Amino acid sequence: MKKYPRAVLTAERGMVLISSLLLLLVVTILAVAIFRNYGMEEKIAGNTREKQRALHAAESAQQYAEWWLSSGLGATTPVICDSVVPVTTPQSGQVCANTLPTIVPGGNVGNLPWQVNGGAVGVTYAPPNMTFSTVGGVNTYYQTPIFYVSYLGLTSDSTTSNYKLLYQVDAAGWGGSSNAVAVVESTYYVTSGVCNLGALGGC
């Protein structure tokens, strides 16, 4: 039976311990990296969800404003807007003579809240079944969506005897917090006048 010196056996046992510690360190680093990556993906998914909720809220207010204009309810004389008007009836709303880019700082409609002389302006529209809470909560929105309709003027259609009333519709909506906000803008026209149905090409 062959005997090994004691020093050699001790050295071999020391290498196993060092190798095990290095392997444990590598596994720990990998586990931490995986958990951090998972947390980051969860935050990205949450932010994307809130961005989409804010966009849908803004689009719902914009679509309501466009419906309000096309239904004839918005056929009012443009006024200088200087306050917030809530939608309480289908007739609620206002058409503003002062365009939004001329009243907000720097002409940037993304600067919220929209204000004139320190007072908020626009029309608040709460879509059905949408709940609001500034303290957050499941499926709640931070604030009621708001829209602002600017009258841009009158233009005629050269192919018909119709004329078009041009409007700019700006709308803002919030997700679950004040940081999740979306602003949308459209140019919308309502056609009025007389149309000759017998004309070549129609109206």
Eight-class DSSP state of 102: H
Average pLDDT of the residues in 196-203: 46
Under the banding of pLDDT at 50, 70 and 90, the label for residue 10 is low
Phi, psi of 186 (to 5 degrees): -145, 155
Under the banding of pLDDT at 50, 70 and 90, the label for residue 169 is very high
Under the banding of pLDDT at 50, 70 and 90, the label for residue 146 is very high
So what's the pLDDT on residue 88?
82
Question: What are the structure tokens assigned to 101, written together?
Answer: 């880019």
Which amino acid type is present at position 74? G
For residue 101, is the peptide bond before it cis, meaning its omega torsion is within 30 degrees of 0?
A: no
Model pTM score: 0.72
pLDDT tens per residue across span 147-167: 999 999 887 766 656 678 889
- The DSSP element (H or E) to which 38 belongs, if any, is helix 6-70
The answer to whether the CB of 170 falls within 8 A of the CB of 46 is no
**Separation of alpha carbons 115 and 146, rounded Å:** 12
Q: Can you give the residue ranges of every domain in the chain? A: 30-193
Rg of the chain (C-alpha set): 31
User: How far, CA to CA in Å, does 141 sit from each of 7, 84, 127, 133, 178?
Assistant: 72, 19, 11, 6, 9
In terms of C-beta density within 10 A (0-12 exposed, 13-18 middle, 19 or more buried), how is residue 159 classed? exposed
So what's the pLDDT on residue 100?
87
In degrees, rounded to 5, the angle at the alpha carbon of residue 141 between the alpha carbons of residues 139 and 142 is 140
